[in-house]
Structure 1
Amino acid sequence: MKKWLSLFLIGLLAISVVASGCIGGGEETTTKGKIAIVYDVGGRGDLSFNDMAYLGASKAAKDFNLELVEVQSAKETDYLQNLETLAQQGEYEIIIAVGFMMTDAVKQVAAKYPDQKFAIIDGFDPEMPDNVMMILFKENEGSALVGALAGMVAANDDKDKVGIVLGMEIPVLYKFEAGYRFGVSWGVDYYNQKMSTNKKVDVIYQYTGTFTDAAKGKAAAQAQLQQGAWVIYQVAGGTGVGVFDAVAEALKAQGKDMGPPFAIGVDSAQDWIKPGIIIASMMKRVDVGVYTAVKAAVEGTFKGGVVELGLKEGGVGISTIEDVKEMFNSLPEDTKKQKLQELGFDSEDQLFAKLEETRKQVPDWVWQAIDELKQKIINGEIQVPAPMDKDGIEKIRNANDWTEMMG
């Protein structure tokens, strides 16, 4: 894994991935154009945000017969140079920047090259030039689903606390926290009505201030487990890997290799990283966002401005076993083999069987209830709050139940 990752972490890389097919008579087609993707610091191999961006870009390259050029930012000061180097070439159908940290750089370069189409994942600026598509996600909606899962699992096991460990305290993470709190409340209410009980489940939360410190994530999760958290949702990037470790160690201390307690993954289908420990993941479908931008550029429907993707658009959701398989199978063969070995499995089938077994620790009615919540959000019957400031999230924290959170 380290050997593979190092390929993406040394300076400025541009790796061309050519998607070609065959036409009649076995003749190979040539690519019709080029697209570029600029990763944030950390880049490919994060098993999360950046890898999901690659999934979308590579699928679009294949479907639209394009050449994909990947560029890695080694440090934040690379953003501007990387984007400008690509833009001045004038060869790309669209240039995609992955991550809100590149917002200012995209704004500056896009203004300088008005004929070049850009897209940015998670970046927003009301004064962004009109050649930039700003792709945002309704993380609150996806977080509501995993919150409902956490709330129902806790209530069903007669526990009264769940946790959430977050990265930097920024507006977009308020949406994750609010959605999770909303879902927990909805899930416990669903349980109480089904079982004729009156249980209450509180949410313990901590912002670690970082997305790259697994030790801080582990410490935060250990503290929440000690306070009685039965399920912990990680919303902290690389910091969140420590959450998985904390839950795994807590189970091991009890002589168990399968929860509960459980962890919940984020951004990609992370379930396979710790089978038996991660019950599900809130998928932020960055791949769908990237694919949407490329499709619009290629088909001539591109428009600058905000494109927001929620449950209805397939932009967020709760992971399925099929999602996990797709994510795992996107890894290079040598990485997959190494991961299977590290996890103690002889084959992918064994891994996926373990994931199926993990999910069976949760009653079928819980998964059905989550589907019910999903449909109610999609059809507009339920609206999940999405605060973007301190006052907004404080109102959610102080609300008595999910109906009050809808306001």
Structure 2
Amino acid sequence: MNSKLLAAILAVVVVIIAAVLLAWPPAQAPATTTSPGAQTTTQAAKQSIYVIYDIGGRGDLSFNDMAYLGASKAARDFGLGLKEVQSKTQDDYVPNLRAAARSGDAALIVAVGFLMTDAVKQVSQEYPNAKFAIVDGYVPDRPNVVSILFRENEGSALVGALAALTAYYYNCTKVGIVLGMEIPVLWKFEIGYAYGVRWAERYVKQKFGKDIKFDIYYIYTGSFNDPAKGKQAAEVMLSQGVCVIYQAAGATGLGVFEAVAEAGKRAGRTMGPPFAIGVDADQDYIKPGFILASMMKRVDVGVYKAAEMAARGTFKGGVLELGLKDGGVGVSTLDDLTQFIEIGVRAGAVRQEDAQNIVNTVRAMRSQIPSWVWEGVDVLKQDIISGREKVPLPTTQDEVNALRRELGLGAAK
């Protein structure tokens, strides 16, 4: 991936995130910044929210940045400080969590990512009076730990249906998903996506009386912060005729966007196909016209809710799980895009003329997709919410292997 382009994208997102925070209620004290090692303090206060990032860290344009947004909003709303700690390696998890727990000013310690599960189990036992929240980790038996989980399988089913119905419209029968490390939380993305694709086959049969069978490819890149690996994986799929690729790989997924946009432009197009689908945040603006939509995973909402409990004295351990019904996951809309672009303009990160071009391009791209595609996605959404459709939720390697066979997923090579 062009490093200058990636750097430019990251710079824009950082400014946009800063503008989001400025749009929320002002902090009770002026923001300050210090740099004691890997730790950054963004607001002075008696108590703080500590956000411990894994090795992926900030700037991924999705998962970690959304956690930052939720913590920042909570800090401002509840008069707390915000302290960020970046883990350089997995060996940093326990020391970073311990340092926050013994700091004396931690209202809540947020561990961002499944990979910190064991570290949270250990440190929360060592410091029973400290309050912890872990995003995507499952620590259900500690009164001082809240596990923030999402029904990514539900949101992924929606974009699976969107991918398949869009592919069908463009006379394509191959779709794919590029993922980061193979960990249990990503099984929910993979299997949910495949379920949505198979649902779309039934929808096409019902609506048009046609039998259609999609090939579904998947690749685990083994990384959340390597755009080059994401690009390589997407190129493999594109060479096999895949026309819509969902990425669930953090910053690695930026390479998926790059590969898809380059393929489209080589074909003389200003918008897809091929298409990519973003994840976690609204990523539609990154390669406008080539990103069909994004599966928004509202990590910010989960972190905010946990911080609110800590600030209001209602914190209790257990599981906080958010799905379609709770607004925890969903498909990005034009309203989401417009909000992001407007914030960027106010921050000076996006020129007014460029912002409108982005909005126009995404709107034009979406308008070329028939209304029955979007209607179909909404049908599935309502059926999931009502319980008529139950998206599989694998929790073990044996279960995911069985579902891969049942749903007919194939590893791209």
- Which one of the candidate residues 354, 361, 364 is aligned to 2:361? 354
- Which one of the candidate residues 168, 171, 176 is aligned to 1:163? 176
- 2:110 alignment counterpart: 96
- Taking the TM superposition and a 5 Å limit, the aligned residue runs for 1:209-358 are 209-327=222-340, 336-337=349-350, 346-358=353-365
- 1:48 alignment counterpart: 62
- 1:122 alignment counterpart: 136
Shift of 1:32: 7.8
2:64 aligned with 1:64, yes or no?
Answer: no
Counterpart-to-counterpart distance in 2, 1:330 and 1:92: 31
- 1:378 alignment counterpart: 385
2:26 aligned with 1:13, yes or no?
Answer: no
- 2:220 alignment counterpart: 207
- Taking the TM superposition and a 5 Å limit, the aligned residue runs for 1:138-177 are 138-177=151-190
Compared CA separation, residues 267 and 110, structure 1 to 2 (3 A): same
Counterpart-to-counterpart distance in 1, 2:36 and 2:94: 17
Could you say what secondary structure the match of 1:271 adopts?
A: coil
**Could you tell which deviates more after superposition, 264-273 or 88-97?**
88-97
Compared CA separation, residues 140 and 367, structure 1 to 2 (3 A): same
The percentage of aligned residue pairs carrying the same residue is: 54
Structure 2: runs of 5 or more not aligned? 1-6, 15-32, 409-413
Structure 1: runs of 5 or more not aligned? 19-30, 402-407
- 2:29 alignment counterpart: none
Compared CA separation, residues 352 and 114, structure 1 to 2 (3 A): same
Compared CA separation, residues 93 and 218, structure 1 to 2 (3 A): same
Q: Are the counterparts in 2 of residues 11 and 72 from structure 1 also a CA contact under 8 Å?
A: no
Shift of 1:328: 5.4
**Could you tell which deviates more after superposition, 232-241 or 61-70?**
61-70
Shift of 1:93: 2.0
**Could you tell which deviates more after superposition, 71-80 or 223-232?**
71-80
Counterpart-to-counterpart distance in 2, 1:167 and 1:373: 26
- 1:85 alignment counterpart: 99
Could you say what secondary structure the match of 1:93 adopts?
A: strand
Could you say what secondary structure the match of 1:273 adopts?
A: coil
What amino acid sits opposite 1:382 in the alignment? Answer: E
What amino acid sits opposite 2:192 in the alignment? Answer: G
Compared CA separation, residues 9 and 140, structure 1 to 2 (3 A): farther
Counterpart-to-counterpart distance in 2, 1:17 and 1:254: 49
- Which one of the candidate residues 102, 105, 109 is aligned to 2:119? 105
- 2:403 alignment counterpart: 396
Compared CA separation, residues 393 and 42, structure 1 to 2 (3 A): closer
Shift of 1:335: 8.0
Shift of 1:280: 0.4
Counterpart-to-counterpart distance in 1, 2:197 and 2:390: 15
Counterpart-to-counterpart distance in 1, 2:250 and 2:318: 27
Shift of 1:259: 0.3
Shift of 1:330: 6.5
What amino acid sits opposite 1:35 in the alignment? Answer: I
Q: Deviations over 1:199-254 (max 9, x none)?
A: 21121112222222222221221121121111111111222111111111111111
TM-score by length of 1: 0.86
Counterpart-to-counterpart distance in 1, 2:334 and 2:34: 28
Output the aligned Cα RMSD. Answer: 2.6
What amino acid sits opposite 1:120 in the alignment? Answer: I
Counterpart-to-counterpart distance in 1, 2:223 and 2:288: 25
Compared CA separation, residues 235 and 15, structure 1 to 2 (3 A): same
Q: Are the counterparts in 2 of residues 11 and 74 from structure 1 also a CA contact under 8 Å?
A: no
Compared CA separation, residues 67 and 325, structure 1 to 2 (3 A): farther
Q: Are the counterparts in 2 of residues 34 and 92 from structure 1 also a CA contact under 8 Å?
A: yes
Q: Deviations over 1:266-290 (max 9, x none)?
A: 1111111111111101111110110
Shift of 1:349: 2.5
Shift of 1:297: 1.5
Could you say what secondary structure the match of 1:229 adopts?
A: coil
Q: Are the counterparts in 1 of residues 139 and 145 from structure 2 also a CA contact under 8 Å?
A: no
Shift of 1:112: 1.9
Counterpart-to-counterpart distance in 2, 1:267 and 1:186: 22
Counterpart-to-counterpart distance in 2, 1:170 and 1:295: 29
Shift of 1:398: 2.5
Counterpart-to-counterpart distance in 2, 1:9 and 1:228: 48
Q: Deviations over 1:281-313 (max 9, x none)?
A: 111111011011011212232211222111111
Counterpart-to-counterpart distance in 2, 1:96 and 1:400: 35
Counterpart-to-counterpart distance in 1, 2:62 and 2:220: 19
TM-score by length of 2: 0.85
Compared CA separation, residues 331 and 11, structure 1 to 2 (3 A): farther
Counterpart-to-counterpart distance in 1, 2:182 and 2:336: 29
Q: Deviations over 1:51-104 (max 9, x none)?
A: 100111122222223222222223322222222222112222211111112222
Q: Deviations over 1:318-339 (max 9, x none)?
A: 11123234455667977824xx
